[in-house]
């Protein structure tokens, strides 16, 4: 069982959260309004090829059982230790 520290609610049980997976940095849609080939590849990269390290992973969790905010953490996928400054995210 993970103990995730929410920046708003403090340390809370994993069961209060839903997993959002690796943090994805979305391509700048406005920079590529025409959906060119490169833009499509960028979307493919972001959506499907997100990192899956055996080690520290920057990922997001939704605190549905608390403040209803997305929380960003760095968790080591080998031993589940959570290392970082927990960061809240807008919506």
Partner 1 sequence: MGNKRWPAIIATPAMRSSYDTVIIGGGGHGQATAHYLAKNHGITDVAVLEGSWIGGGNTARNTTIVRSDYLLNASFGLKNFALKLWGELSQELNFNLMYEPRGYVDLAHSDGELEHFTIRANAMRLGGAGVEILTGQALQDCVPELDLNSAARFPVAGALFQPAGGVIRHDAVAWGFARKASQAGIHIFQKTPVTKINITKDKVSSVDTPQGRINCRQVFISVAGASNQVASLAGLDLPIHSINVQAFVTEPVKPALKTVVNYNAGLSYISQTAKGEFVLGGASDGYNSFARRGSFARIEDVLARAVQMFPFLSRLRLMRHWSGTADISMDGNAIIGQTPIDGLSINCGWGYAGFKATPAVGHQMAELLANNTTPDLIKPFTYDRFANGAEIDDAGAGPYPWHH
49: tokens are 């090829």
> By C-beta, is 22 or 67 nearer to Zn ion?
67
Contact 6, 66 (CB under 8 A): yes
Pick the binder of Zn ion from 2, 22, 67, 82 (CB under 5 A).
67
- Draw the binding track, 30-69, toward partner 1 (x: CB under 8 A; -: no contact): ----------xx--xx-xxxx-xxx--x-x----------
25 binds partner 1 (CB under 8 A): no
8 A C-beta contact, residue 71 and residue 14: no
**Interacting residue ranges for partner 1, rule: CB under 8 A:** 1-2, 14-15, 19, 21-22, 40-41, 44-45, 47-50, 52-54, 57, 59, 77-80
């Amino acid at each position: 069982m993970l103990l995730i520290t929410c920046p708003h609610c403090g340390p809370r049980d994993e069961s209060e959260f839903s997993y959002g997976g690796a943090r994805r940095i979305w391509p700048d849609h406005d920079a590529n309004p025409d959906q060119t080939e490169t833009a499509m590849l960028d979307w493919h990269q972001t959506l499907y090829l997100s990192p899956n390290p055996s080690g520290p992973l920057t990922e997001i969790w939704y605190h549905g059982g608390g403040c209803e905010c997305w929380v960003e953490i760095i968790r080591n996928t080998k031993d589940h230790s959570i290392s970082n400054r927990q960061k809240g995210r807008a919506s």
